[in-house]
Amino acid sequence: MRQQYTKIGLIIWLFVSQPFSFSASAESTTPTIPLAIDLKADAQQQLNDKKVILLYVSAPHCAFCKKLEKEILSPLLISGEYNNRITLRKIDWSSSEELLDFDGNRIAAKALLKQYAIQITPTLLFLNGKGEEINERLLGYRGGEFYWYYFDVAIESSNRVLNNQ
């Protein structure tokens, strides 16, 4: 009888512990959004590929940024559906790092964000290879219900602009 309880306990333990191991492994496979390091190189690539440069501005303390990454940007990267339509790059609002701008000049991330007059996070900028905004930016994030629609419309309209340049 004791051996039967041990088997039942083992089965219950396996059943209960299994969901936790799945969630832990799912978190570890979350893709990293590429940082904006060399926008000049991204611009050169954009000229070849005719894909919009999607510059994502986030902040480490921003709960809405974390939600946007979890619900929109990470699934976008995992699916690969947008690989032929966008080049996604991330800039941290609080970063003190330097990067290469669209002209190949070294610039502080904060200075670049000041040029674009970024006031809130998250912000998504739709840019051409010259660093010009070619579509209305998406500001903030509350949830994904209608966001995917606006996101897709912005990408499609940005790519139409690129194809006509």
Secondary structure of the chain as H, E, C letters: CHHHHHHHHHHHHHHHHHHHHHHHHHHHCCCCCCECCEHHHHHHHHHHHCCEEEEEEECCCCHHHHHHHHHHHHHHHHHCCCCCCEEEEEEECCCCCEEECCCCCEEEHHHHHHHCCCCCCCEEEEECCCCCECCCCEECCCCCCCHHHHHHHHHHHHHHHHHCC
Same domain, 108 and 132: yes
Same domain, 64 and 16: no
Same domain, 106 and 124: yes
Contact, 86 vs 122, CB < 8 A? no
Same domain, 128 and 53: yes
Same domain, 42 and 106: yes
Domain count, the chain: 2
Same domain, 70 and 94: yes
Same domain, 43 and 104: yes
Q: Residue 62: which domain range?
A: 31-163
Same domain, 54 and 97: yes
Return left, alpha or beta for 50; rule: phi > 0 is left, psi -120 to 50 is alpha, else beta.
Answer: left
Same domain, 22 and 77: no
Predicted local distance difference test score (pLDDT) of residue 48: 85
Same domain, 156 and 134: yes
Strand partners, 38: 100
Same domain, 59 and 103: yes
For the domain that residue 77 is a member of, what is the CATH number? Answer: 3.40.30.10
User: pLDDT below 50 — which residues of the chain?
Assistant: 1-2, 4-7, 9-28
Same domain, 1 and 77: no
Predicted local distance difference test score (pLDDT) of residue 10: 41
Predicted local distance difference test score (pLDDT) of residue 22: 40
Predicted local distance difference test score (pLDDT) of residue 165: 76
Predicted local distance difference test score (pLDDT) of residue 146: 87
Q: What is the pLDDT of residues 122-151, one digit of tens each?
A: 999 999 999 999 999 999 998 877 899 999
CA distance 138 to 120: 10
